[in-house]
Copies of this chain bind each other. A is one copy, B any other.
Amino acid sequence: MQKEKEMKQVPEPTIKRLPVYLHYLIKAREEGAMNISAPAIAKELNLDPTQVVKDLAYTGIKGRPKIGYNIYELIHFVEEYLGFNKVNKAFLVGAGNLGSALMAYQAGQTLGLKILAAFDISESKIGTKTGQVNVLHMKNFSEMVKRLDVTIGILTTPGDVAQKVADEMISAGIKAIWNLTPAYLKLPENVVVQNTSMYSNVAVLLKRLEHSEKII
């Protein structure tokens, strides 16, 4: 349990691991498991058991020594903690391939985000639909943000217009931007920006491959 005042900041690595646990827990639940222990999760996901215990404790779940956690309860706590069971309304801008991928993604499994609409300026895309998400003209963005009270923007435009579109998002009232372009965004301090750079991931992959080849 955490202190009431000055709630200790949860480590970002923990927040990134929780969805990984969640995916595994849902799979384990489907296979009929009733209880699950931290060491069991750790072994499955190749992590340190103590780390799993600590991570799960952040969600507020209470386990029982020797038995572990009730899997239904644990899934509920993790989803609650991450906010994945809430409706997190989002608008997507840039209905290209990556944008369409995210629209389709949420059709099946919930991504934690509810993409209410997508926006673009290309006439060929406007009026189309991917995974139940309609593509609208960008000129309607600002009005729609206010009307539907949307706080999250997903940025999947080409990199060279990313800053311009991000500025538009903010002036329309968006509070958090998930930036999937390679561009670095300069935005006011109070805006939350989450960068997901494909390049960074490729870079890590290549370095690790290089390293593993050196060993052999």
The chain A residues found within 8 Å of chain B, CB to CB, are 10, 12, 15-20, 22-24, 44-46, 82-84, 88, 96-98, 100-105, 108-109, 111-113, 130, 151-152, 158-159, 175-176, 178, 182-184, 190, 192, 194, 196-210, 212-213, 216
Contacts and interface: CB of A to CB of B under 8 A. Distances in A.
Contacts of A46: 184
Contacts of A22: 199
Do most interface residues of chain A lie in helix, strand or loop, or is the interface mixed? Answer: helix
Contacts of A175: 209, 212-213
Nearest to A195: B20
B192 A83 contact: no
A197 B19 contact: yes
A209 B196 CA distance: 16
A100 B101 CA distance: 8
A130 B97 contact: yes
Contacts of A152: 205, 209
Given A196-B201, A200-B19, A204-B15, A184 B98 contact: no
